[in-house]
C-alpha cells in the first residue's frame, strides 16, 4: 500500500521511472527502436558464436572421443600401439586404438567409382562415437551415407575396395612406383552409417562429410597384403592432467621398424650387420644418427646405384655392355662384409673420383663379348637421374676409368649390400623384374646359351658388379632423399644389439621420418574458430541496419523530447541544471535502451538462427554441398549475448545522448513555449551547400575516373561515385526541406504538405535518408556480385585457361600425356587420343588445409603447391600485383611473373610464393606483396617465404604456390603429385565427359577427384555472392526500419498537430482530405528516399550493368519500395483516424 | 532586493526588429510585492522571464540580492533559479505521472535526492494550500484550482527569495483565483520573500499590492 504522505519520487532515478511510466508510449517506441539495434548487433554476434559452436561441435563429432593420434606418412608396426597401450595402463588414456587411415577408391559392380577415406580398426566402438557403430564382420565394410548415396549401395550389397599399392620408396626416385597399381578386394556392405558419429569420421575439420568406408584391420591388411602394418594410433579418453598429445609425445617410443629401418645380419665373408630402410635411401637424419652410433664401431656408409648399362669401349671401337647392374659406392675397400681384393689377394684401393673397380665376373663378361678390359680402360655407366623430372625418369651417363678388378671374394660377393627393392630383388629371374622404371627386358641375356645375366642373377642376385667412391656415387645418384642406402657394421664390434638400436632410435626425431603426433581435438577446436570472423563479418554487413536503427532511436527519442518539452521546460525553469536535465533524459533513455537490450538478447538468437538458415541453405546449394551440418544452429554462448546486448545498450545511449544534452541545454522558455527547434539541428545552410557541391564534384570526378579504369577498379570507383552522389543528393534534400517557406500563398494540398514537411525538416530528412541509404545499398551491392566470366578458357582469367582440377587421394607420378607411361594405364585408343589433346600440369602439394573462402574452418596449415616448368612457362591467371625483382645478371625482365618461382636468384633468401589476394589478406592474414611468413616444413622446422605476387581470386585460391624445386627442398619427404590442372579446351565439349572418364581411368589408383574449373570458380564466387545476398536482405530490413521511422514520425506529427488538423476539419476539410494531406507528406519523405537512393545506386552499378555482370534488382526494389510506401500510407491513414483528429479542437 | 536597470529586450524577425521591453527599471525590497498589468503583447511575460533568469535581456541588468544571474554560466544560473526563485505559470505544468507531493518536491531534485526536511516542508505547504488530503493524487485527479495550488506549493518549496507568477489565475474562476492569489501572497509573505505577479485581472492585482502597468514595453510609473 502506498502512503500518500510519503513521496514516491525521492531521487533522479525515481523521477526518471515515474516519467518513463507516464511517457510509456514514447518510451515503448524508443525501447522498440533500441531493441532493433540490440537484436541486430546481438544477432550478428550470435551468428559468429553459433557458427563457431556449430563448427566446433561438428569437428568434435567427427573425432568421437579421439583426442590425439600418432600419424605416419608411412606404415609403422602395430607394436608401437601395443607399447602405448602398455604405457596407458599407468594413468594414461582409456583406449589406444591402432588403425589404418588411407585414401581409397570404392566401386560397385555397375562400375561406379568414388574416392573415399578408409578407416580400418578392429574396434570402431572404442573410438567413442555416438551412436556406437555396429560390430564389423569378416570381409565386410561399413559405409557412410554420402558414400552409399553416391554409389547407390545398400546393406549387403557388394563393393570393391581398392587401395593403391604403396611403395615406401619415394615416387620421385627411379625405383619409386609412379605407374598405377592397386590391390582390390570384393567386400560386402554390412551396414550404412548415418551421417553423424562415426559416419562423419575425419581427421581434418571440414564442413562437409566425405565418403567413408570402415573395415577391420585384418581385412585392410589382406587388401594391403601387409601384416601388422598401421599408420595411425588413436588416443581416446584421456584422464584429467596432461593433454593427450603431450602424453603421446612423452610415451611415443618408436622402434627402428616403426621408422622403416632394419638392422640385420648381412651376408658376406665377415659377420656383419646392415642398416637399411624400406624407403631405399636412408634419410639425412638417419644417416647422421648412424654416423654417430655406428661410425665409432666400424660402420661404413654405402650407396648402391643401378646402372642401366655398363659399357666398355666406344661406338668407334667394339663395344661390350652389361644391362641392369648394381654399382656400390664405398668409402673403404675394407668393408665390414669383407675386403675387396684382386685376384692376387692384394687389397684394392678406394677408386678416385673418376675411377671404378669392376668385379671379375664383369671383366670376364666384357672379354667374352670381345671387348676385354683392364685397369685404366674407360667404362661408361648409364643410369637414371636420382630424381624424376616432373614425373619422368631421365637417363644420364658417367664415364669412369677402371682402377681395379675385384676377385669374386670377400666383400665383392656380398649380395646384402643392396637393399631389397620390391619387384626387383625379390624376383627369381632378372627376366621377371617388374621395376617401376622403363625396363627393356630385351637387353637382358636370359636365354641359353647367352643367359649370362640370368645366371649371374641366380648365382649372385643383386651383388654389385662394380664399386665406385662413395663421393662419386653421391654425386651421381645422391638426392634430397639421402646419400646412403645402407650402413654396414662388423658384428664383432657390437656386443649389445638392442643397445645399438636404442642408441639409434634415441637420435631420431619421429617428425623427421614422417611420424607425427597430432593433437586432433585441440586442432579441431582451434580450427573451429573459423576462417572468417563471421560475427564481425555479419556485424559489418549489419552495420547499415544498426545505423538505421540508431537513426530510428534518435528519431524516436527526439519525438519523445519534443512531445514532453513543456515538462522539461518546467524542470529547467525551476532550476534543474542542463547537465542534470540531460542526465534525467539519458536515464529515461537508458531504461528504454535496457529494455531493448534485453529484448535483443532474447530475439537476437532467433535472428541469428534465421541468418544461419539462410547462409546454410545458400552455402549447401552453391558453395559446398553437404555442408549444412556446419550451420546447424547451436545456441550462442551467454558471453556473446551479453556482449551484444551491452554494446547495443551503449550505442543506443550514445545515439540519444546528444539529443538529451541539446534538449537539456535549451533555454527554459523555448521548452515551455514548445518550440520544435529544441531538438532539431540548427538550420545552418552552408554545410549542406558544401555537401551538395562536394557531392556533385566528387561524383563527376570519380565517374570520369571510373570510365578510365579497368575491371574491378572501375566497379570500386563507380561505387565511390554513387556514394558521393548519394551524399550530394541528400544534402540537396536537406536544403530543400530546410529552405524558408515561400512567400506565396499555399494553393494546393501538396503545397500544404510541403510546408508541413518544413516544420520539422530534421525528421523528414532522417526518414528520407534512411530510405535512400537502404535503397542505395540494396541496389549498389549488386555490382559486386560475381558471375562466371564469359570466356572460361581465357588464360588471363580466374581459371588460368585450365578446364579441370584433379585432386589425388594418393600422390601419383603418372602423367597420362607421357606416351611412355600411358601404354600401361589401360586406356582405349580413343581415350588416349582425347588425353593427347590436353595440356596437363602436375602440381605437388603438401598435406595441409584449404585456405580458400569456401572452407569455414580456420586454416592451421595451408596447403603449399609446388608448380613445375609446364605450369610456369604457360603462365596465366591475372596478377593484381607482383614484385619487381632486380635481376643481378641484367637479363631482361619477363612479362610472366610466374617465372620468379622458377628463376630464384637468391637460394639463401626466403622462398618466393604467389597467393591469391583473398587468401593472403583474409584466409591466412599474411599481408600484402613483399610480406614474409613462415610455414612448417612438416618436420617441425620453420621455413620463411615471401609473397612475390598476388593473384586475382581464381581456382587456385586457398593455396600457397611456390616453385617445384623449392617445394622439393621444403618438403624433401614428399613425393609424387597430389594435384593436376587439365586444359581440355581443345577437346570438343561433347567429348568432355568421355575425357573425364579417361582421366579417371588413367589415375584410378590415385583416387582422383575431378572437378571442372568452372564449378570450382562458381563455388568460390558463391561465397561472395552469398554474403552480398545477406547484405541485400539486411538492406531490405533497413528499408523496413525506415518505414517504421515514417510511421513514428507520422504518428507523432499528427499528435503534435492535433490542433491545426482539427481546425482543418472544423473549417470544412473532410477526414479523407486530411488523410490525403498526411499521405502526401509521407509519400514525399519515402518517395524522396527511394528516388535518391535508386538514382545514386544506378550510377554505382553502371559498369557492372553495362558489362552484364550485374542486373538491376528490380524485383527486390519493387518489393521493398512497395512495402515501404504501403506501410507509410497505412501509417498515415491510421494516424488520421476520426478518433485521433476531432472535428473540434480540444482545449487543454 | 530585486533590481532591474534599463532592461530592454528585442527580437529579430522576418519583418524586422521588434522591441518587447524598452528600458525598464525598478527595484523591489525584501518582502515587497508587485503586480504588473498590461495588455496582451505588452511584454509582461518577457519581463517576468528576464526577472526569473529564464531569458537574458538585450540590454540592461537584473540582480537579486546583488547577484546578476546573467553573468553566471547556464548551470549556475539554473542553480540560482533553483535556490532563489519560485515560478508559478499560467498553466500548472505539473508532471502528470507524479503525485501532488512529488510535483511539489521536483525543484529539490534538481541538485540531488530529496531530504526529509524538504519532504516535510512540501507536505506542510500542501496542507497550507488545503490539499492535505490530496498528497498522493495525480494532476489528472485534481481540479484546475487544486493543480494551481500544487504549483504554488512547488514554487515555494525551497523558500525562494523571489516568487514570480505569470497569470497564475488565468484559467481559474474568480473565487478560486482569489483563493490562489491569497495563498500566494500569504505564503510568500510568511517566508519574507518578494512576489511579482503578472496578471490581466484587476482583482488579482489588487490583492497582490503595488500595481504597475506595462504598456508597449515601457513600465509606467
Q: Does A1 touch chain B (CB under 8 A)?
A: no
Q: Kindly list the residues from chain B whose CB atom is less than 8 angstroms away from the CB atom of residue A739.
A: none
A855, A919 contact by CB (below 8 A) = no
Highest mean pLDDT range out of A157-166, A468-477, B92-101?
A468-477
Q: A24-63 and A12-22 are packed helices; what angle lies between their axes, rounded to 10 degrees?
A: 100
Mutation choice for A interface testing from B52, B110, B154, B157 by most A CBs within 10 A = B110
Which three-class secondary structure state does DSSP give residue A166?
coil
d(CA A887, CA A835): 38
Please tell me which residue of chain A has the smallest CA distance to B73: A577
- Cα A750–A752–A755 angle (5° rounding)? 115
Q: Does B122 touch chain A (CB under 8 A)?
A: yes
The pLDDT of residue A300 is above 90: yes
pLDDT in the model for residue A180: 53
d(CA A345, CA A343): 5
Which three-class secondary structure state does DSSP give residue B49?
helix
Task: Render A496-513 in DSSP notation, one character per residue.
Answer: -HHHHHHHHHHT--GGGG
Lowest-confidence region among A588-592, A1081-1085, A1124-1128:
A1124-1128
Instruction: Name A370's Cβ contacts closer than 8 Å, sequence gap at least 6.
Output: A318, A320
pLDDT in the model for residue A472: 95
Q: Kindly list the residues from chain A whose CB atom is less than 8 angstroms away from the CB atom of residue B137.
A: 4
Q: Is residue A722 reached through a cis peptide bond, with omega within 30 degrees of 0 on the bond before it?
A: no
A797, A712 contact by CB (below 8 A) = no
The pLDDT of residue A743 is above 60: no
Q: Does B216 touch chain A (CB under 8 A)?
A: no
Option in A9, A10, A576 nearest B78 (CB): A576
Closest CA of chain A from B113, distance in Å: 4
Q: Kindly list the residues from chain A whose CB atom is less than 8 angstroms away from the CB atom of residue B154.
A: 574
d(CA A198, CA A212): 9
Q: Does A194 touch chain B (CB under 8 A)?
A: no
Highest mean pLDDT range out of A91-95, A164-168, A696-700, A1060-1064?
A91-95
d(CA A192, CA A148): 7
- Tally of CB atoms within 10 A around B117: 9
State the distance between the two ends of chain B, measured CA to CA, in whole angstroms.
Answer: 19
Please tell me which residue of chain A has the smallest CA distance to B134: A4
Closest CA of chain B from A586, distance in Å: 15
Q: Are residues A7 and B122, on separate chains, in Cβ contact within 8 Å? A: yes
Q: Does A570 touch chain B (CB under 8 A)?
A: yes
A929, A883 contact by CB (below 8 A) = yes
Largest Cα–Cα separation, chain A:
140
Q: Kindly list the residues from chain A whose CB atom is less than 8 angstroms away from the CB atom of residue B75.
A: 577-579
Predicted TM-score (pTM) of this structure:
0.74
Looking at residue A392, what DSSP letter applies?
B
pLDDT in the model for residue B186: 87
pLDDT in the model for residue B170: 80
What residues does A841 pair with on adjacent strands?
A981
Query: What backbone torsions phi and psi does residue B12 show, to the nearest 5 degrees?
Result: -95, 125
Looking at residue A447, what DSSP letter applies?
B
Q: Are residues A570 and B89, on separate chains, in Cβ contact within 8 Å? A: yes
Option in B91, B101, B107 nearest A7 (CB): B101
| Site of grid cell 489588487 | B206
d(CA A988, CA A189): 39
Q: Does A739 touch chain B (CB under 8 A)?
A: no
Mutation choice for B interface testing from A27, A570, A585 by most B CBs within 10 A = A570
The pLDDT of residue A962 is above 90: yes
Q: Does A927 touch chain B (CB under 8 A)?
A: no
Residues A934-951, mean pLDDT to the nearest whole number: 85
Instruction: Name A27's Cβ contacts closer than 8 Å, sequence gap at least 6.
Output: A20, A560, A588, A591, A592
B169, B181 contact by CB (below 8 A) = yes
What are the start-end ranges of the E strands in A331-422? 334-335, 338-339, 355-359, 378-384, 395-406
The pLDDT of residue A464 is above 70: yes
A151, A159 contact by CB (below 8 A) = yes
The three three-digit cell numbers of residue A125, written as one number = 566402438
A1003, A180 contact by CB (below 8 A) = yes
Please tell me which residue of chain B has the smallest CA distance to A18: B97
Q: Are residues A9 and B87, on separate chains, in Cβ contact within 8 Å? A: no
Lowest-confidence region among A152-161, A933-942, A945-954, A1132-1141:
A1132-1141
Q: Kindly list the residues from chain A whose CB atom is less than 8 angstroms away from the CB atom of residue B135.
A: 4-5
Could you tell me which residue, A35 or A175, shows the higher pLDDT?
A35
Mind listing the pLDDT tens digit of every residue in chain B (221 residues)?
Answer: 899 999 999 987 766 788 899 999 999 998 899 999 988 888 888 999 999 998 899 999 999 999 999 999 888 988 899 999 999 888 878 888 888 998 999 888 888 888 999 999 999 989 988 888 888 898 889 988 899 889 989 998 998 999 999 888 887 788 888 888 888 888 888 878 899 999 888 888 988 888 999 988 898 87
CA distances from B136 to A224, B93, B146 (A): 93, 17, 13
Q: A749-759 and A711-738 are packed helices; what angle lies between their axes, rounded to 10 degrees?
A: 100
The pLDDT of residue A11 is above 60: yes
d(CA B5, CA B1): 13
What residues does B16 pair with on adjacent strands?
B13
Checking ipTM against 0.90, whether it exceeds it is no
Could you tell me which residue, A1059 or B59, shows the higher pLDDT?
B59
d(CA A882, CA A858): 26
The three three-digit cell numbers of residue B204, written as one number = 488579482
Q: Is the dihedral of CA A1063, A1069, A1075, A1080 positive or negative?
A: negative
Query: What backbone torsions phi and psi does residue B25 show, to the nearest 5 degrees?
Result: -140, 140
Q: Does A9 touch chain B (CB under 8 A)?
A: yes
Residues A626-637, mean pLDDT to the nearest whole number: 75
Q: Are residues A575 and B110, on separate chains, in Cβ contact within 8 Å? A: yes
The pLDDT confidence band at residue A676, using thresholds 50, 70 and 90, is very low
pLDDT in the model for residue A651: 92
Q: Which of residues 58-117 of B touch A (CB under 8 A)?
A: 74-75, 78-83, 85-87, 89, 91, 93, 95-99, 101-102, 105-107, 109-114
CA distances from A1101 to A253, A542, A650, A719, A732 (A): 64, 21, 36, 7, 22
Summary mean pLDDT of chain A: 83
d(CA B113, CA A887): 80
The pLDDT of residue A417 is above 80: yes
Q: Are residues B135 and A4, on separate chains, in Cβ contact within 8 Å? A: yes
Residues A411-428, mean pLDDT to the nearest whole number: 84
Instruction: Name B158's Cβ contacts closer than 8 Å, sequence gap at least 6.
Output: B82, B83, B86, B107, B108, B118
Q: Kindly list the residues from chain B whose CB atom is less than 8 angstroms away from the CB atom of residue A7.
A: 99, 101-102, 105, 114, 119, 122
pLDDT in the model for residue A681: 44
Could you tell me which residue, A323 or A1135, shows the higher pLDDT?
A323
Q: Does A708 touch chain B (CB under 8 A)?
A: no
Lowest-confidence region among A28-32, A159-163, A477-481, A538-542:
A538-542
Highest mean pLDDT range out of A361-365, A493-497, A559-563?
A361-365
Could you tell me which residue, A87 or B191, shows the higher pLDDT?
A87
What are the start-end ranges of the E strands in A470-613? 486-490, 515-518
Mutation choice for B interface testing from A574, A583, A742, A743 by most B CBs within 10 A = A574
Closest CA of chain A from B64, distance in Å: 15
Size of interface A-B (CB pairs under 8 A): 118
A465, A362 contact by CB (below 8 A) = yes
Amino acid at each position: 500500500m502506498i502512503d500518500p504522505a510519503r513521496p514516491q519520487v525521492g531521487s533522479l532515478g525515481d523521477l526518471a521511472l515515474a516519467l518513463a511510466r507516464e511517457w510509456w508510449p514514447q518510451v515503448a517506441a524508443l525501447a522498440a527502436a533500441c531493441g532493433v539495434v540490440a537484436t541486430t548487433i546481438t544477432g550478428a554476434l550470435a551468428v559468429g558464436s553459433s557458427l563457431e559452436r556449430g563448427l566446433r561441435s561438428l569437428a568434435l563429432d567427427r573425432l568421437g572421443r579421439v583426442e590425439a593420434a600418432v600419424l605416419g606418412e608411412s606404415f609403422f608396426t602395430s607394436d608401437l600401439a601395443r607399447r602405448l597401450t602398455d604405457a596407458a595402463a599407468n594413468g594414461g588414456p582409456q583406449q589406444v586404438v591402432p588403425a589404418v587411415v588411407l585414401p581409397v577408391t570404392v566401386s560397385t559392380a555397375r562400375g561406379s567409382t568414388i574416392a573415399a577415406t578408409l578407416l580400418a580398426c578392429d574396434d570402431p566402438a572404442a573410438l567413442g562415437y555416438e551412436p556406437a557403430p555396429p560390430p564389423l564382420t569378416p570381409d565386410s565394410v561399413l559405409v557412410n551415407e554420402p558414400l552409399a548415396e553416391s554409389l547407390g549401395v545398400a546393406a549387403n550389397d557388394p563393393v570393391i575396395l581398392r587401395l593403391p599399392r604403396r611403395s615406401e620408396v619415394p615416387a620421385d626416385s627411379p625405383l619409386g612406383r609412379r605407374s598405377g597399381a592397386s590391390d582390390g578386394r570384393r567386400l560386402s556392405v554390412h551396414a550404412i552409417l548415418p551421417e553423424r558419429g562415426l559416419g562423419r569420421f575425419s581427421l581434418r575439420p571440414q564442413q562437409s562429410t566425405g565418403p567413408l568406408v570402415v573395415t577391420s584391420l585384418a581385412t585392410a591388411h589382406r587388401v594391403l597384403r601387409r601384416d601388422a602394418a598401421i599408420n595411425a594410433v588413436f588416443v581416446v579418453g584421456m584422464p584429467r592432467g596432461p593433454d593427450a598429445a603431450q602424453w603421446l609425445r612423452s610415451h611415443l617410443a618408436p622402434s627402428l621398424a616403426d621408422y622403416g629401418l632394419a638392422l640385420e645380419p648381412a651376408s658376406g665373408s665377415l659377420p656383419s650387420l646392415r642398416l637399411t630402410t624400406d624407403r631405399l635411401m636412408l634419410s639425412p637424419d638417419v644417416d647422421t644418427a648412424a654416423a654417430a652410433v655406428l661410425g665409432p664401431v666400424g660402420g661404413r656408409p654405402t650407396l648402391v646405384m643401378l646402372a642401366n648399362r655398363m659399357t666398355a669401349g666406344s661406338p668407334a671401337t667394339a663395344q661390350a655392355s652389361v644391362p641392369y647392374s648394381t654399382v656400390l659406392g664405398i668409402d673403404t675397400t675394407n668393408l665390414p662384409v669383407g675386403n675387396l681384393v684382386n685376384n692376387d689377394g692384394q687389397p684394392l684401393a678406394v677408386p678416385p673420383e673418376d675411377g671404378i673397380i669392376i668385379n671379375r665376373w664383369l671383366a670376364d663378361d666384357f672379354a667374352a663379348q670381345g671387348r676385354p678390359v683392364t685397369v685404366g680402360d674407360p667404362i661408361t655407366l648409364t643410369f637414371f637421374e636420382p630424381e624424376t623430372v616432373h614425373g619422368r625418369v631421365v637417363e644420364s651417363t658417367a664415364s669412369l676409368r677402371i682402377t681395379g678388378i675385384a676377385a669374386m671374394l670377400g666383400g665383392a660377393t656380398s649380395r646384402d649390400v643392396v637393399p631389397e627393392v620390391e619387384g626387383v630383388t625379390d624376383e627369381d629371374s632378372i627376366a621377371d623384374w617388374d621395376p617401376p622404371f622403363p625396363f627393356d627386358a630385351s637387353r637382358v641375356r636370359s636365354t641359353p646359351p647367352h643367359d649370362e645375366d640370368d645366371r649371374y642373377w641366380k648365382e649372385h642376385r643383386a651383388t654389385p658388379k662394380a664399386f665406385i667412391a662413395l663421393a662419386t656415387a653421391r654425386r651421381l645418384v645422391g638426392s634430397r632423399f639421402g646419400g646412403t642406402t645402407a650402413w654396414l657394421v662388423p658384428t664383432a664390434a657390437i656386443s649389445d644389439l638392442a643397445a645399438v638400436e636404442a642408441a639409434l632410435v634415441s637420435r631420431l626425431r619421429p617428425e623427421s621420418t614422417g611420424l607425427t603426433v597430432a593433437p586432433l581435438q585441440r586442432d579441431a577446436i582451434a580450427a573451429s574458430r573459423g576462417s572468417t570472423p563471421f560475427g564481425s563479418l555479419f556485424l559489418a554487413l549489419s552495420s547499415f541496419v544498426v545505423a538505421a536503427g540508431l537513426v530510428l532511436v534518435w528519431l524516436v527519442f527526439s519525438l519523445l523530447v519534443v512531445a514532453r518539452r513543456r515538462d522539461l521546460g518546467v524542470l529547467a525553469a525551476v532550476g534543474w541544471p542542463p547537465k542534470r536535465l540531460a542526465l534525467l533524459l539519458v536515464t529515461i533513455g537508458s531504461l528504454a535502451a535496457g529494455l531493448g537490450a534485453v529484448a535483443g538478447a532474447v530475439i537476437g538468437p532467433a535472428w541469428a538462427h534465421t541468418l544461419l538458415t539462410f547462409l546454410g541453405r545458400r552455402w549447401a546449394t552453391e558453395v559446398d554441398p553437404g555442408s549444412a551440418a556446419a550451420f546447424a544452429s547451436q545456441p550462442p554462448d551467454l558471453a556473446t549475448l551479453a556482449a551484444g546486448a551491452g554494446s547495443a545498450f551503449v550505442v543506443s545511449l550514445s545515439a540519444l545522448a546528444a539529443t538529451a544534452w541539446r534538449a537539456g541545454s535549451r533555454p527554459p522558455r523555448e521548452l515551455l513555449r514548445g518550440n520544435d527547434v529544441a531538438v532539431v539541428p540548427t538550420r545552418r545552410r552552408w554545410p549542406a551547400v558544401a555537401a551538395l557541391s562536394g557531392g556533385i564534384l566528387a561524383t563527376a570526378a570519380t565517374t570520369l575516373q571510373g570510365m578510365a579504369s579497368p575491371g574491378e577498379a572501375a566497379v570500386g570507383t563507380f561505387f565511390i561515385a554513387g556514394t558521393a552522389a548519394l551524399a550530394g543528393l541528400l544534402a540537396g534534400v536537406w536544403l530543400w526541406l530546410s529552405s524558408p517557406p515561400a512567400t506565396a500563398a499555399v494553393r494546393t494540398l501538396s503545397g500544404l504538405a510541403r510546408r508541413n514537411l518544413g516544420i520539422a525538416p530534421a525528421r523528414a530528412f532522417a526518414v528520407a535518408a534512411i530510405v535512400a541509404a537502404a535503397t542505395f545499398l540494396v541496389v549498389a551491392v549488386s555490382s559486386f556480385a560475381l558471375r562466371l566470366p564469359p570466356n572460361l578458357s581465357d588464360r588471363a582469367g580466374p581459371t588460368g585457361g585450365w578446364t579441370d582440377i584433379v585432386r589425388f587421394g594418393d600422390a601419383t607420378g603418372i602423367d597420362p600425356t607421357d606416351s611412355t607411361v600411358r601404354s600401361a594405364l589401360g586406356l582405349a585408343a580413343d581415350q588416349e587420343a582425347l588425353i593427347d589433346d590436353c595440356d596437363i600440369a602436375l602440381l605437388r602439394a603438401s598435406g595441409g588445409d584449404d585456405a580458400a573462402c569456401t572452407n569455414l574452418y580456420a586454416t592451421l596449415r595451408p596447403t603449399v603447391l609446388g608448380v613445375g616448368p609446364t605450369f610456369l612457362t604457360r603462365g596465366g591467371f591475372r596478377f593484381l600485383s607482383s614484385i619487381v625483382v632486380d635481376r643481378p645478371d641484367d637479363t631482361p625482365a619477363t612479362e610472366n611473373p610466374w617465372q620468379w618461382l622458377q628463376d630464384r636468384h637468391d637460394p639463401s633468401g626466403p622462398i618466393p610464393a604467389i597467393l591469391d589476394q583473398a587468401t593472403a589478406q583474409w584466409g591466412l592474414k599474411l599481408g600484402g606483396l613483399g610480406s614474409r611468413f613462415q610455414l612448417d616444413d612438416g618436420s617441425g622446422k620453420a621455413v620463411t617465404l615471401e609473397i612475390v605476387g598476388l593473384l586475382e581470386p581464381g581456382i587456385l585460391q586457398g593455396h600457397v604456390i611456390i616453385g617445384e624445386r623449392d617445394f622439393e627442398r621444403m618438403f624433401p619427404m614428399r613425393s609424387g603429385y597430389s594435384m593436376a590442372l587439365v586444359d581440355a579446351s581443345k577437346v570438343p565439349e561433347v567429348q568432355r565427359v568421355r575425357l573425364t572418364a579417361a582421366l579417371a581411368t588413367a589415375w584410378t589408383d590415385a583416387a582422383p577427384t575431378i572437378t571442372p574449373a568452372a564449378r570450382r570458380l562458381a563455388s568460390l564466387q558463391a561465397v561472395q555472392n552469398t554474403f552480398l545476398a545477406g547484405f541485400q536482405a539486411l538492406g531490405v530490413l533497413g528499408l523496413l526500419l525506415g518505414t517504421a521511422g515514417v510511421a513514428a514520425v507520422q504518428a507523432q506529427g499528427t499528435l503534435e498537430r492535433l490542433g491545426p488538423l482539427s481546425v482543418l476539419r472544423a473549417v470544412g476539410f473532410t477526414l479523407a482530405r486530411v488523410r490525403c494531406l498526411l499521405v502526401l507528406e509521407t509519400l514525399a519523405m519515402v518517395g524522396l528516399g527511394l528516388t535518391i537512393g535508386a538514382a545514386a545506386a544506378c550510377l554505382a552499378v553502371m559498369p557492372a550493368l553495362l558489362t552484364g555482370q550485374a542486373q538491376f534488382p528490380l524485383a527486390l526494389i519493387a518489393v521493398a519500395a512497395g512495402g515501404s510506401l504501403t506501410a507509410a500510407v497505412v501509417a498515415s491513414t491510421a494516424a488520421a483516424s476520426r478518433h485521433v483528429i476531432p472535428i473540434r479542437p480540444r482545449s487543454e | 532586493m530585486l533590481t532591474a536597470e534599463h532592461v530592454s529586450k528585442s527580437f529579430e524577425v522576418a519583418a524586422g526588429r521588434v522591441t518587447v521591453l524598452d528600458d525598464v527599471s525598478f527595484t523591489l525590497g525584501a518582502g515587497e510585492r508587485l503586480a504588473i498589468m498590461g495588455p496582451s503583447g505588452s511584454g509582461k511575460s518577457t519581463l517576468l522571464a528576464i526577472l526569473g533568469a529564464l531569458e537574458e535581456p538585450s540590454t540592461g541588468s537584473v540582480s537579486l540580492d546583488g547577484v546578476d544571474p546573467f553573468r553566471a554560466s547556464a548551470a549556475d544560473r539554473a542553480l540560482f533559479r533553483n535556490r532563489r526563485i519560485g515560478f508559478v505559470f499560467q498553466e500548472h505544468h505539473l508532471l502528470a505521472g507524479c503525485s501532488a507531493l512529488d510535483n511539489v518536491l521536483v525543484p529539490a531534485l534538481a541538485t540531488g535526492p530529496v531530504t526529509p526536511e524538504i519532504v516535510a516542508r512540501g507536505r506542510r505547504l500542501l496542507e497550507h494550500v488545503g490539499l492535505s488530503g490530496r498528497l498522493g493524487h495525480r494532476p489528472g485527479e485534481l481540479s484546475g484550482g487544486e493543480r494551481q495550488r500544487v504549483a504554488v506549493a512547488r514554487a515555494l518549496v525551497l523558500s525562494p527569495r523571489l516568487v514570480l507568477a505569470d497569470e497564475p489565475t488565468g484559467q481559474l474562476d474568480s473565487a478560486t483565483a482569489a483563493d490562489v492569489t491569497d495563498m500566494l501572497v500569504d505564503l510568500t509573505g510568511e517566508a519574507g520573500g518578494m512576489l511579482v505577479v503578472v496578471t490581466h485581472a484587476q482583482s488579482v492585482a489588487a490583492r497582490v499590492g503595488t500595481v504597475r502597468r506595462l504598456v508597449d514595453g515601457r513600465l509606467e510609473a
